[in-house]
Structure 1
Amino acid sequence: MKCPSAQPGMGDVQILGVISRDADEPRLAYLDEAMPAAPETLELAAPLNVSQVFRLSARCEEKKCTHFDGSHCQLAVRIARMLPEVVDHLPACNIRPDCRWFRQEGRAACVRCPQIMTGMNEADELWQAVAGVPRLQR
């Protein structure tokens, strides 16, 4: 299984796509083919963080990941239930056959996937909830 929202240090990391900022909201422009996330390629993101330029996929780390509950990716569950659809057709994704989110949530995850930005620094309350960030008690 592959995680479509991976970090650079994970196993079998590939570039899933490039973050496009041509529209009002950032969107993922999927690559036609998987591309290894070689250090020299990821360095092209500088001075920005890698996650502001690229979205990575990698081998799902299952029990090592805070989103995995032992059988399901709860991030995929929250994405499918909490976010609006942003496309009306399945994106041209090169990992779909092995994607944890697609295998688990199907079309509901795919039509929301292009808006996912890994490691958002300026996340509002909805995005924090989707990411699983605990709410602070006031």
Structure 2
Amino acid sequence: MENVTSNHATLCPSARPEMQDSKVFGIISGTVDEPRLAYLKQPLPVTEEVMASSGSVRPTEVFRTAAPCAEKKCQHFDGANCRLAMEIVDKLPGVVEQLPPCSIRTNCRWWKQEGKAACMRCPQVITDNYSPSEVVKQVGKSLVVSK
């Protein structure tokens, strides 16, 4: 698979589409109760046309995007690791038995940090999930940063 960025930046697989240099690497499929990521063979740059193609729903309900990891600027980064990746591996069950055909894996922060365990859970991660399971809610709650 081809790398998403030419500078080989470490990528966040749960980035917001409005982040600089973001790319769509998957489309949400499955059901409301069991959403699953369908991986694109090649990531697509986030453009106005791509975002408009989500129709009447938010792009983050339809697409998963990756962008260079914001590290210290991100609430999930603890200075060395992505806490979101750790929580996903710790609390979510695996949903696939083989590594998904992911076009960003080479540069993915979750892959670099948590390895295969993160990839086996990644297909169920939805950036804006309005019907999360109780386990997904727990992962989200444990990551709330108090001010």
* Distance (whole Å) between structure 2 residues aligned to residue 126 and residue 17 of structure 1: 22
Alpha-carbon RMSD across the aligned residues, in angstroms, is: 1.8
CA separation of 1:124 and 1:21: change in aligned 2, threshold 3 A: closer
Q: Structure 2 residue aligned with 1:75, among 62, 84, 87?
A: 84
TM-score after normalising by structure 2: 0.85
What is the deviation of 1:66? 0.5
| Structure 1: 5+ residue stretches without partners | none
* Distance (whole Å) between structure 2 residues aligned to residue 92 and residue 132 of structure 1: 30
Matched, 1:103 2:93: no
What is the deviation of 1:9? 1.6
SS in 2 for 1:41: helix
| Structure 2: 5+ residue stretches without partners | 1-9
* Distance (whole Å) between structure 1 residues aligned to residue 73 and residue 45 of structure 2: 22
1:43-96 deviation per Cα after TM superposition (whole angstroms, max 9, x unaligned):
111201111111111111111111001100000000011000100110000010
Determine the structure 2 residue equivalent to 1:121: 130
Matched, 1:12 2:18: no
SS in 2 for 1:56: strand
* Distance (whole Å) between structure 2 residues aligned to residue 132 and residue 46 of structure 1: 30
Matched, 1:131 2:140: yes
Question: Identity, % of aligned pairs?
Answer: 46
Aligned length: 135
